[in-house]
Structure 1
């Protein structure tokens, strides 16, 4: 499947000024190190590309007390094709994004659901410790029909 030039751009999905997700398409590439998340987020998303023989100095991460009040998820599509439905924190439908093998999404805020368009595999990373489904999640209605979705207040950048 050919991807349009627009698909190569890192995409932020916002609703009423709140960052819901950051999408890194599989074909994204740039030299050096950069981070796509604001410094105050409890999960940081960075990207690095260096030539052979580049060296990153060995290091450890110090113990630092941090406060985490919400769970963010990072999803890598290992295979297949999925649709990620994005919702505001108050469960209003915002947007749907199609992801294919190699695409990456950081789910920052709000709600989300997945629809597998093809057989697929996802790799998921999120903060812990995991308490329980009852404590960590609040499930709600299935995704709305895309033709009746209300996307007022929706921003894509």
Structure 2
């Protein structure tokens, strides 16, 4: 239950559904993403060796964010870099999404709690450009639009 949303070979988002399960560890992002997303399933008694993270200079050009839908139901609308609507997906409680490129907006279909993780530091008004969406009429009812290419 993993869905990668792509347009013209660019990954817009990776959705990890709440019922995804596998053994061991699995990374879903390429090494060059400035935000990494992985799943771990380890048995009782498994040990991850203690470690510290080294000081490594990184250059981040675009904010990537990870959202955990803690409760509720949320529609995510995807846009290209020119603010043109592409498609939508509905996320349920327990789903996780990594937003990598392009634009996005959210509609709460039900009362929702969301945990957001993204790079900092926050750049204030320079961090994002807000715009008025031009959505298809059927999206007013929370329906997902499945026409976007998926991998």
- Settle same-fold status: TM greater than 0.5: yes
What is the CA–CA distance in structure 2 between the aligned matches of 1:113 and 1:17, rounded to whole Å? 21
Tell me: CA distance 1:146–1:107, structure 2 relative to 1, closer, same or farther (3 Å): farther
What is the CA–CA distance in structure 2 between the aligned matches of 1:108 and 1:154, rounded to whole Å? 16
Q: The residue matched to 1:155 in structure 2 has which SS?
A: coil
Report if the CA contact (8 A) 1:113-1:143 is conserved: no
Shift of 1:92: 1.4
CA-based RMSD: 1.6
Question: Which residue number corresponds to residue 14 of structure 1?
Answer: 6
Tell me: CA distance 1:143–1:83, structure 2 relative to 1, closer, same or farther (3 Å): farther
What is the CA–CA distance in structure 2 between the aligned matches of 1:14 and 1:111, rounded to whole Å? 13
What is the CA–CA distance in structure 1 between the aligned matches of 2:136 and 2:127, rounded to whole Å? 27
What 5-or-longer segments of structure 2 have no aligned partner? Answer: 140-144
Matches within 5 A, 1:55-74: 55-74=47-66
Report if the CA contact (8 A) 1:74-1:106 is conserved: yes
Shift of 1:91: 1.2
What is the CA–CA distance in structure 1 between the aligned matches of 2:100 and 2:149, rounded to whole Å? 15
Moved over 3 A (4+): none
Q: 1:23 aligned to 2:12?
A: no
Report if the CA contact (8 A) 2:85-2:133 is conserved: no
Report if the CA contact (8 A) 2:83-2:133 is conserved: no
Aligned pair partner of 1:90 in 57, 82, 90: 82
Report if the CA contact (8 A) 1:16-1:154 is conserved: no
What is the CA–CA distance in structure 1 between the aligned matches of 2:87 and 2:126, rounded to whole Å? 26
TM-score normalized with structure 1 length: 0.88
What is the CA–CA distance in structure 2 between the aligned matches of 1:58 and 1:146, rounded to whole Å? 52
TM-score normalized with structure 2 length: 0.91
What 5-or-longer segments of structure 1 have no aligned partner? Answer: 1-8
